[in-house]
Amino acid sequence: MTKNSKVLSLKYRPQVFEDLIGQDIASKTIYNSIKSNKIPNAYLFTGIRGVGKTTIARIVAKSLNCKNGIEKICKDKFCENCEAIVNSNHIDVLEFDAASKTGVDDVRDLIEFSRYQPATAKYKIFIIDEVHMLSKQAFNALLKTLEEPPEYLKFIFATTEIKKIPITVVSRCQRFDLPRVKSSELFEFIKKIKDKENGKATDEALRLIVKISEGSVRDALSLLDRGLISQTEEQELDLKSAQKIFGYFDKGFLIDLFQNLFEGNEKEVIKIYKTIYNSGVEPKTFLNDFLELLYYFKNISSLKLEGTNFSLNDQEFNKISELSKKVSPETLILFWEFTIKKMDELYIVANQNLSIEMFLIRLIYLKGRPIKENYLNEKEEKILSEKQFTQENLKINLNDENLNINNKTISQIKNISQKESPEPKKQIDDKNISMNIDNFEHLVKICSQKKEFNLKYELENNVNLVSFDNQRIEISFNVNLDKDFVKNLANKLFEWTNLRWIITLSKREGLPSIKQKKYLKKMDLLELEKKNEIYKKVMNLFPDAELIDVEIEDKD
């Protein structure tokens, strides 16, 4: 621990392997390799921010160069080498940021410096943070030295973007993927730090800090530091204070918003959202929390209260459990898809707040939303009675079979209030009209016309067509295909065509899915446009530019 620092994230930075939390596998492996003198040429640490990449790099450097050896590595009273490494001024341990030194010339200077023996330590160590920022030429210049360095030279790399590092470099390193720190471990850690600092904070406030930090120790300590500083010595940091300080709103508001969404109360939904927005919550943050609640509504039956990452308290957990029984999984999946799409569209509209309000209204009026009997309000019951009264006055000759139409409309009462009532005669005739479905593309089009969005999504994304002929469909599929897809599709085909269809699952690969075809077509267009002279001129002017999409101009 760096006692001379006032910032908690630096003051309580681990100095030995035992101080690390959440990285037991990496710590044990590295400790054993150094103890048995089986030290790799290079270490590569990857993970999100604040999980200990640079910290472990410095501990490794100390373990290799500590005068007391790894079994008695300095923890409080530092030896000469450990003191210099902790303060980042050791002559043989060079630590630099690749983000500021990305060129091949910087790497060449590094290689030139590596030719000299260490001055005071046993090993000369290069710690390169954010190593993925190095240029391609810089990586190539480093390869030979990295593969066969002198015995006294060791490399330690840290990165948050492992995919940007060439595989030729990764293969020459001993790689450690550092996971997010578990919520329970992080909670106990910051609670101990709070006690050492004589701070006052409730467990609920600490759990909120753990949730916001998303498994990052540095983020958790920074938030704790900020929360404790904001209170006077007599005040205690409670949940409500923490929510205001960190710009985090109460989940209870969002659960109430969901309840009103399911009930179709448009005014109440907008009122609750405005309350959340006025509390300082950004639209993007709102959508992320909206997705999280959708996940809980869909999977609440398989979750345990202690396993929800401190996201829900007892009251919220029980309320979601109760509401989830009144909503179909199909509706929740449809909400999820619309929310993901809205996140992509969020920056199109200048006023994101208005965009979110229209998004919520759109969810209310989604076709096929299941509304239980106890969700029918007085206005909807009045509309239903007026609908039935109108049909009786028209004196339509309905047989017993067609009378069931009125009963079926109850589950879609919201749609009755949105559209003018169609002529009853035409409605009955359309019921008996059978369709001809000629090919796979036609089937997808029919699903779109009939508002069967779940079926349409599965057909486009998770189905590979093998054959389509004479009321028989043979398909292959991926692991994401809904387990009830075949049954649902067969029922709808019978409803639309009055014919029995046979749907078989094949072991053959089949044609690419519609989504795959669109992707391949997009890739072909991108490659074609990269041969265009205009593209080449743009790249000459802006070397860092990247072509991400191509739109075909409508000649009309």
DSSP state of 201: B
Residue 46 lies in a domain: yes
Q: Helices 183-196 & 203-213, crossing angle to 10 degrees?
A: 130
| pLDDT above 90 as % of the chain | 18
Whether residue 20 is contained in a domain is answered as yes
Residue 460 resides in a domain: yes
Q: What is the pLDDT of residue 392?
A: 43
Q: CA-CA distance, 344 to 350, in Å (whole number)?
A: 14
Rg of the chain's alpha carbons, rounded to an integer? 31
Are 254 and 290 in contact by the 8 Å Cβ rule? The answer is yes
Q: Are residues 339 and 269 in the same domain?
A: yes
Ordered DSSP codes for 296-345: HHHHGGG--GGGSTT---HHHHHHHHHHHTTS-HHHHHHHHHHHHHHHHH
Q: How crowded is residue 166: how many other Cβ atoms within 10 Å of its Cβ? A: 15
**Is the domain of 202 the same as that of 95?**
no
- Regarding whether 225 and 155 lie in a shared domain, the answer is no
First to last CA, the chain: 70
Q: What is the signed CA dihedral for 438, 442, 448, 452, rounded to 10 degrees?
A: 40
- Same domain for 21 and 121, yes or no, is yes
How many angstroms separate the CA atoms of 112 and 101, rounded?
Answer: 15
- For 518-539, the pLDDT digits (tens) are 878 888 788 887 788 887 877 7
Q: Which domain holds residue 417?
A: 376-432
115 and 13 inside one domain: yes
Number of domains in the chain: 5
Domain membership flag for residue 536? no
One domain, residues 150 and 240:
no
* 351 lies in the same domain as 394: no
- The mean per-residue pLDDT over the stretch 91-114 comes to 86
pLDDT computed for residue 286 by the predictor: 87
Q: Pick 419 or 196 by higher pLDDT.
A: 196
- What's the pLDDT band for 304 if we cut at 50, 70, 90? low
CATH of the domain at 326: 1.20.272.10
pLDDT of residue 310: 52
pLDDT tens-digit profile of 103-153? 888 888 888 888 888 888 899 999 999 999 998 888 988 898 888 888 899
What average pLDDT does range 36-53 have in this prediction?
92
Same domain, residue pair 417 and 346:
no
Residue 29 pLDDT grade (very low, low, confident, very high; cuts 50, 70, 90)? very high
Q: What is the pLDDT of residue 393?
A: 43
Query: Is 541 among the domain residues?
Result: no
Strands (E), 160-246: 174-177
Q: Which of 320, 337, 364 is the last residue of a domain?
A: 364
> Would you say residue 552 lies in a domain?
no
Domain boundary, last residue among 432, 456, 474: 432
Q: Is residue 279 in some structural domain?
A: yes
The CATH number of the domain holding residue 27 is 3.40.50.300
Q: Is residue 525 part of a domain?
A: no
**163 pLDDT above the threshold of 80:** yes
